[in-house]
Amino acid sequence: MKESKKELKEKQAIKEKLEKEYKAKIKEYALTNVSSLIYDSDLIKKDILIAHHKFDEFINALKQKKKPAIISGVNPDGPLHLGHAVIFKELIELQKQGADVFIPISNDESYITKKSNSLFEAREIALKDVIPSLIALGFEPQKTFIHIDSDYTDIYNLAIYLSTKLTLNRVKGVFGFNELSTPGSFFYLGSVQEAHILLPQIKEFGGPRITTVPVGFDQHPQILLSRFIAKKANMVPPGELIFNFLPSLKDPEGKMSKSKPETAIFLTDSPEEAERKLKRAYTGGLKSGADQKILGGVPEICPIFLIQKYHFLSLKETKDLEKKCKSGKILCGDCKKQCIEFTKKFLKEHHEKREKAKKQIDKFLIKEKIDIKNL
């Protein structure tokens, strides 16, 4: 029992550390807590969406049918995983309420950062894995604007235009480049990424409008740069949404990562593969089941709990599971079984939808040309 108490204390300390870090970041970046928002969302009630900048204006624009836009890019160095799916499911909700959704797919970034061997390889992953999954999640073609950078080369004209609003020093200050950084990464982060974020505001897509970008804390500096450029280009500075991330299956302080397959459930994983990974996943429980029955677990840092909370359970069901875990009424073996069942069912259905989605890709790709006369 002494060992179990120590183990529980260590897990609770991780939870407290993460909560403290989140609060400190919200304060440091002058973001607003979501509790003040008048927006009925389970994501807020479940503490998945935790902070924002000007999301209230985005909600007002939705109510006034002003078609705000939301931008969420994908680096196609591998298939999407359950962590990405949390954000895309929320985008679909906002789309149902009237938002346009822009999804730039940056195979140039994959190549520049050496996560892919070539532009072509990353483009293949985008077409074979990423876009079918996005469509299968439920986006509407009329309100979804997907492009792959190397195919939609007009994006580079917009990037060149936006690069004139910046100095080398400002971009260096945000991203901290050093003498080994490549000119490509400089152009990508300083200009192409900004072109992705500001694309919905150019004339061809209706001109300046309210936009928001879901990001992690680490991407906040990029959005600050977007706001700076937007003002200079007579566009509306973008807002941002901060999501609590879905942790790695191996480490409560790490994220699911495409480069470490054992940390994530990919939307392309077979149900059996997902089962194998979940069986081996870290939990917020204790080594001794007998002691866990008395002391309970720490669901807040448990990927098995969080996958269920983020993807499969209602608010009430989430609270029930949390209570059962903390009181030791459920143990990790049974809890994992439940999570495996949910995940396998989801993946089976998702794979069927992905097959149909492969024939619909063209309906979702941007066709509008960017007229350089307008830049």
User: Which residues sit at the interface with ligand SF4, rule CB under 6 A?
Assistant: 283-285, 297, 299, 302, 304-305, 325, 330-332, 335-336
Position of minimal CB gap to ligand SF4:
335
- Taking the least distance from each CB to ligand SF4, the nearer of 200 and 328 is 328
- Its sign, for the CA torsion 198, 202, 208, 214, is negative
CB of 62 to ligand SF4, least distance (A): 35
- Taking the least distance from each CB to ligand SF4, the nearer of 267 and 330 is 330
Pairwise CA distance, residues 351 & 347, whole Å: 6
Say if CB 105 and CB 364 are below 8 A apart: no
CB of 169 to ligand SF4, least distance (A): 48
Pairwise CA distance, residues 100 & 14, whole Å: 38
The single-letter DSSP state of residue 79 is: -
- Taking the least distance from each CB to ligand SF4, the nearer of 104 and 303 is 303
Q: What value, to the nearest 5°, has the Cα angle with vertex 301 and ends 298 and 304?
A: 90
- Taking the least distance from each CB to ligand SF4, the nearer of 313 and 330 is 330
The SS3 call for residue 310 is helix
Pairwise CA distance, residues 284 & 334, whole Å: 14
CB of 172 to ligand SF4, least distance (A): 43
- Taking the least distance from each CB to ligand SF4, the nearer of 325 and 370 is 325
- Taking the least distance from each CB to ligand SF4, the nearer of 8 and 86 is 8
CB of 250 to ligand SF4, least distance (A): 14
One-letter amino acid of 11: K
3-state helix vs strand vs coil in the chain, percent to 5: 60, 10, 30
Q: What value, to the nearest 5°, has the Cα angle with vertex 341 and ends 338 and 288?
A: 35
CB of 20 to ligand SF4, least distance (A): 21
CB of 297 to ligand SF4, least distance (A): 3
